[in-house]
Amino acid sequence: MSIVLRIALILGALFALSIVVRKVRKSKIRIADSVYWVCAAVLLLILAIFPGIAYFFSDLLGFLSPSNFVFLVVIALILLKLFNLACEVSRLTDKVEQLSQEVALSKKEFGDNLQNKR
Amino acid sequence: MRVLAIVPAYNEEECLANTVRELTSTCPDVDYLVVNDGSSDATPRICDELALNHIDLPVNCGLTSAVKAGMKYALRHGYDAAVQIDSDGQHIPEYIPTMAKTLEDEGADIVIASRNLAGGGAVGARGAGAKLITAIIHQTTGATITDPTSGMRMYNRAMIERLARGFDLAPEPDTIALLIRRGAKVIEVPAKMRERQGGTSYLHFMSSISYMARTCLSILLFQWFR
């Protein structure tokens, strides 16, 4: 694993951590939702500081270069997060639809649905 | 038997009034509910001016959600059956009493108005798609649904409850297959349908590709895990 990749990983991870901290401070992300990003950044930091881990796993899995293992980890993290986001969007869509249905039904119940004349 | 006709309407200013007029004059015993699905045209104004029995979804949620809102209404107002009637005028309300009678006499859970049993049916690519869905429903459930894409379906109380409460239960063929596997009795009655009288269909060309993908995947794969 080249020293350039290690430095890039360290800088990238620290940069990511600083962004997460700033967003939490500005109330742009809930702490529960930030846990994943902190863990991912720390994981990359560990891989950069202890390249032995990457060497070990790339030998174990038969990769040509330990940096390939690092890329694999990054891609896996992204795919995992992406799929979880898709699930979350589905759940949110369902919730918005349920809310819309309830709003429509309650407005009808209280006779307010004849007020949308423009 | 109290029957509710659920009329989902998204931007249907051209034909909504006629559809409801035809519905109320042919079937005076059948209550109806127009579900205005966040329309951006004159649909909500028509609902108000003609004092149609309607609810307004505050944002456009899609056909599935509009029908689900109707099912919740049917559930809360104690209807024995609910039938989906498209607002574009392609469904002929004269068949509603026949469907209700079949539902009651034969003890069916779902009654589908089938164009194929009446000698009609979709042709071309759409017909091929419908045949494919018929085939995979037959393969996976053993039941033969000649017109799976017919939107004119009547549900009994038990099915209304499921559709009102279930997650991702679209009023589409894959739900029919799932319900059959869960023991629902589905009967088809022959019915003619008209060409749509105006407006644009929910199913455009590109969306019909993803419609087929979603439907096939749901029936062939996810049905076993739901």
**Predicted pLDDT at B200:** 54
Q: Which domain holds residue B118?
A: 3-224
Round the CA-based radius of gyration of chain A to a whole number and report it.
23
Q: Is the pLDDT of residue A14 over 50?
A: yes
pLDDT at residue A113 is higher than 90: no
**Rounded-to-5 percentages of helix, strand, coil across chain A:** 80, 0, 20
Which range in A50-54, A111-115, B125-129, B194-198 is most confidently predicted, on average pLDDT?
A50-54
Mind listing the pLDDT tens digit for each residue in B108-141?
999 999 999 998 877 777 889 999 999 999 999 9
Average pLDDT over residues B186-208: 77
- B65 contacts A101? CB cut-off 8 A: yes
pLDDT confidence of residue A118 = 40
Look up the ipTM and state it.
0.82
Return the residue of B nearest to A105 by Cα.
B55
Lowest-confidence pick of B21-25, B65-69, B100-104, B118-122:
B118-122
Number of domains in chain B: 1
* pLDDT at residue A117, as a whole number: 45
Distance from C-alpha of B132 to C-alpha of B87, rounded to nearest angstrom: 27
Nearest C-alpha in A relative to B63: A97
CB contact under 8 A, A113 and B65: no
Q: Write down the pLDDT at residue B197.
A: 58
Lowest mean pLDDT among A27-41, A103-117, B20-34, B162-176: A103-117
CB contact under 8 A, B57 and A94: no
- The number of CA neighbours under 13 Å toward the Cβ of A99 is 8
Task: Output the pLDDT for position A111.
Answer: 78
List the single residue in A94, A100, A118 with the smallest CB-CB distance to B58: A100
- pLDDT value, residue B209: 87
Q: Is the pLDDT of residue B201 over 70?
A: no
Please list the residues that pair with B190 across neighbouring strands: B114
**B123 Cβ under 8 Å from any chain A Cβ:** no
Q: Which residues of B touch A114 (CB under 8 A)?
A: 48, 51
Q: How far is CA A34 from CA A23, A25, A44, B4, B198, in A?
A: 9, 11, 16, 47, 49
Q: Which residues of B169-206 are buried (b: 16+ CB within 10 A; e: fewer)?
A: bbbbbbbbbbbbbeebebbbbbbebeeeeebeebbeee
Which of chain A's residues have a Cβ under 8 Å away from the Cβ of B45? Answer: 116-118
Of A15-19, B33-37, B204-208, the least confident: B204-208
A113 touches chain B (CB under 8 A): yes
Contact A114 B58 (CB under 8 A): no
What rounded mean pLDDT belongs to chain B?
92
Which of B55, B58, B168 minimises the CB distance to A108?
Answer: B55
Quick check: A101 contacting B, CB < 8 Å? yes
Distance CA A97, CA A92 (A): 8
Separation of alpha carbons B12 and B43, rounded Å: 6
pLDDT tens column, A28-74 = 999 989 999 999 999 999 999 999 999 999 999 999 999 899 999 99
For chain B positions 149-208, those within 8 Å of chain A (CB to CB) are 167-168
Choose the weakest-confidence range: A61-65, A72-76, B7-11, B196-200: B196-200
The nearest CA of chain A is from the CA of B104 a distance in Å of 28
Backbone angles phi, psi at B199, to 5 degrees: 75, 180
Q: Which whole number is the average pLDDT over B53-62?
A: 95
In this prediction the pTM is 0.86
pLDDT of residue A112: 67
- Give residue B225's pLDDT: 87
Query: B153-156 and B186-190 as β-strands: parallel, antiparallel, unpaired?
Result: unpaired
- pLDDT over threshold 90, residue B205: no
CB-based contact, A106 to chain B, within 8 Å? no
- Strands in B31-37's sheet, in edge-to-edge order, are B54-57, B31-37, B3-9, B81-84, B153-156, B110-114, B186-190
Would you say residue B198 has pLDDT above 80? Answer: no
| Binary contact (A116, B58; C-beta < 8 A) | no
Please tell me which of the candidates B49, B54, B68 has its beta carbon nearest to residue A101: B68
Least confident stretch, A85-89, B144-148, B192-196: B192-196
Q: Which long-range contacts (CB under 8 A, 24 or more apart) does B216-223 make?
A: B216/B132, B216/B133, B216/B136, B218/B174, B218/B177, B218/B178, B219/B133, B219/B136, B219/B137, B219/B140, B219/B173, B219/B174, B219/B177, B220/B136, B220/B140, B223/B140, B223/B174, B223/B177, B223/B178, B223/B181
Q: How far is A95 from chain B (nearest CA, A)?
A: 10
The pair of structure tokens assigned to B102 is: 């079949």
Query: What's the whole-number average pLDDT of chain A?
Result: 90
- CATH number assigned to the domain comprising residue B14: 3.90.550.10
Nearest CA in chain A to B69: A101
* Among A97, A98, A101, A108, the residue to mutate for chain B (most B Cβ within 10 A): A101
As a whole number, mean pLDDT of residues B152-165 equals 97
